Amino acid sequence: MTGQKPRITADRLAELSERVQTRRGWITDVVWSPNGRSLAVASAEGIAFFEADTLRPLAALHGHEGPVKNLAVDANGARLVSAGADTTVRLWNLRAGGACTILRGHRDSVEAVAFSPDGTCIASASTDRSVRVWDAQNGAPLSVLEGHSAEIAALTYGAGGRLASGGWDRSVVIWDAHGQMLFRLEHADWVRHLTSSADRTLLASSSRDQTVCLWDWDSGQECLRLTAHAGGADAAAFSPDGLLLATSGRDLTVKLWSLPDGVLRHTLTGFLKPVMALAFSPDGTRLATGSGDNRVQVWGVGQWDSSQ
């Protein structure tokens, strides 16, 4: 179809190539808008927005007194939540000029944030070893979850209000909607990143033990373990259709695996420092990467011009 961007699929991964890039201070997270038109980028410099096809700068949000560690956007793109090394969580109203509500309660750096699937709650994880849950409308504190024995580095929501957290104690904890611990899942080293599949059935954990593990949200059972990256795995992202998993690590590569078989299909190289952020576009046609060499890159297949 004229003007249609080809999807990233297992049989087209060899065509995956860099389309555009921009530079910004040490990248910690990259998040697509729900309509796929823009990217929000977290870095040591704060939060910036870019037009997705060209990475032309659009806007910036200022307020954190230190590096921004993680971002999440709600399902309709109206709100953005950010995690700061300054111990705060900030809830931004993007349709009101970036008006900000500051959520205070953590005693140390906030490493990860997430919106619940229904958009009613925000969860945050900190190096103070706690997970906090907040009302997404007014920022009121709802609960504090404590069960980790070391710093918490990662967080993501599943279905039905379930929440997963992971950190330096080498474990992933799955909590129910009431904050009760359901499962404790183990890695051989600290857990750096967590992400959920679009249908909220699979949880992926990336660890310094070099593996990326896929777990069943409902049972806590391990579904697949990939020995992914020498030196440790840093991040993972599911494609929207759940048929691909992108991973990154200390070997300075991004790898793409087919699911559910876990076969390595393609490897992206040329990064100068580890890729800390991975995100597929909502339509599955592009993959965004953010790395310690200060680069945000967008990868795709085929041609994007409307004359195709």
CATH number at residue 223: 2.130.10.10
Residue 3 has a pLDDT of: 59
Per-residue pLDDT at 200 exceeds 50: yes
Whether 262 is in a domain gets the answer: yes
- CA separation for the pair 191, 188 (Å, rounded): 9
The residue range of the domain holding 73 is: 25-281
Whether 3 is in a domain gets the answer: no
By 3-state DSSP, what share of the chain in percent is helix, strand and coil, each rounded to 5?
5, 55, 45
Whether 5 is in a domain gets the answer: no
Lowest mean pLDDT among 2-11, 118-127, 241-250, 286-295: 2-11
Half-sphere exposure (CA, 13 Å, Cβ side) for 115?
A: 22
Q: What is the DSSP letter of 10?
A: G
273 φ/ψ sector (left φ>0, alpha ψ -120 to 50, else beta): beta
How much of the chain, in percent, has pLDDT values that exceed 70? 97
Residue 308 has a pLDDT of: 35
Per-residue pLDDT at 85 exceeds 70: yes
Tokens of 129: 């070893």
Residue 26 pLDDT grade (very low, low, confident, very high; cuts 50, 70, 90): confident
How much of the chain, in percent, has pLDDT values that exceed 90? 91
Whether 86 is in a domain gets the answer: yes
Whether 19 is in a domain gets the answer: no
Residue ranges of E strands in 87-216: 89-93, 99-103, 110-115, 121-126, 130-135, 141-146, 152-157, 163-167, 171-175, 181-186, 191-196, 202-207, 211-216
Length of the chain: 308
User: What are the beta bridge partners of residue 47?
Assistant: 42, 61
Helices (H) and strands (E) in the chain, counts: 0, 28
Locus of tokens 């992914």: 228
Are residues 201 and 224 in contact, defined by beta-carbon separation less than 8 angstroms?
A: no
Whether 306 is in a domain gets the answer: no
Instruction: For the full predicted model, state whether its pTM sits above 0.75.
Output: yes
The structural domain count of the chain equals 1
Whether 180 is in a domain gets the answer: yes
Whether 9 is in a domain gets the answer: no
